[in-house]
Amino acid sequence: MGALAAAIAIGLAALGAGFGNGMIVSKTVEGIARQPELKGSLQGTMFVGVALVEAIPIIAAVIAFMAIFM
């Protein structure tokens, strides 16, 4: 039962991160299309946002492994 819960938690975290990354990148591309002179600034902010969103599935995986093996 713990393995199933861990698998669901990791799957939902990955799904949420994928949706979040898609939203971040799409809004960045939209912003660059509107104001091309801000490309560097927008990309830098995008990379920070993507890195923060990608931390969520990693944390979920660590918590899931802790729940299974402890």
Domain definitions of the chain by residue range: 1-69
Collect contacts of 55-58 with beta carbons under 8 A, ≥24 apart: 56/13, 56/16, 56/17, 56/20, 57/10, 57/13, 57/14, 57/17
List pLDDT tens digits, range 20-68: 999 999 999 999 999 999 999 999 999 999 999 999 999 999 999 998 9
Assigned CATH topology for domain 1-69: F1FO ATP Synthase (1.20.20)
pTM of the shown model: 0.84
- Does position 16 have pLDDT exceeding 90, yes or no? yes
Res 14: pLDDT: 95
Res 1: pLDDT: 84
